[in-house]
Structure formats: structure tokens, C-alpha cells
């Protein structure tokens, strides 16, 4: 499963490279608008994920680095974070 998360992260980073290239040297007419729109929507989605998962980053050693990774790859980074122990383990 780690291979799939890693592949997803690589593909997402490649998409961000395409968006950055499109900002500095726009592609042909319909594609530049579509890439900018897709990049904007993905960035807004990752901002929403950052707001939703911000409380789970409080106990992490480097929460700002995790926030940056969430902005870049979104839920793919959240899925690779270790689960916090001690929550909901009481069976009594």
C-alpha cells in the first residue's frame, strides 16, 4: 500500500510541476485555462484538508512540514501519518 501512496504523491507533484510551468509559460489556449482551473481547485481542496486535519497535527514533531506536505499532496500525506494511540482503546 505504501507503494501506491508514494506513486500518488509523485503523480501529484508532477501535476504541480505542470501547473507551475503553465504559470510561467502558458500552453495553448484551452489547455492553459483548464490547467489553471484544475490547479486552483486542487489547491482549494488541499486547503480544506489542511483545515480539517490541523488538530491531528498538533502533537507531531514538525507540524509545519506536515502542513506543507498536505498543501502539496493532500490526503496522500494524511494517510501516511501514524495513527495516534490511546484514543478509543478503552473496551471497559
- DSSP secondary structure string for all residues of 22-66: HHHS--SHHHHHHHHHHHHHHHHHHHHHHHHHSGGGTTSS-HHHH
Asked if residues 59 and 81 have their Cβ atoms less than 8 Å apart, the reply is no
Query: Does position 31 have pLDDT exceeding 80, yes or no?
Result: yes
**What pLDDT is recorded for position 63?**
86
> What is the per-residue pLDDT across 32-84, written as a single tens digit (0 to 9) for each?
999 999 999 999 999 999 999 888 888 888 889 999 999 999 988 888 887 76
Amino acid at each position: 500500500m505504501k507503494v501506491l501512496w508514494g506513486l500518488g504523491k509523485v503523480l501529484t507533484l508532477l501535476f504541480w510541476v505542470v501547473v507551475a510551468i503553465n504559470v510561467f509559460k502558458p500552453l495553448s489556449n484551452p489547455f492553459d485555462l483548464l490547467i489553471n482551473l484544475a490547479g486552483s481547485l486542487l489547491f482549494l481542496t488541499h486547503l480544506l484538508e489542511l483545515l480539517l486535519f490541523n488538530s491531528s497535527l498538533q502533537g507531531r514533531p514538525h507540524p509545519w512540514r506536515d502542513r506543507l506536505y498536505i498543501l502539496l499532496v493532500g490526503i496522500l500525506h494524511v494517510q501516511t501519518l501514524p495513527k495516534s494511540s490511546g484514543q478509543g482503546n478503552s473496551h471497559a
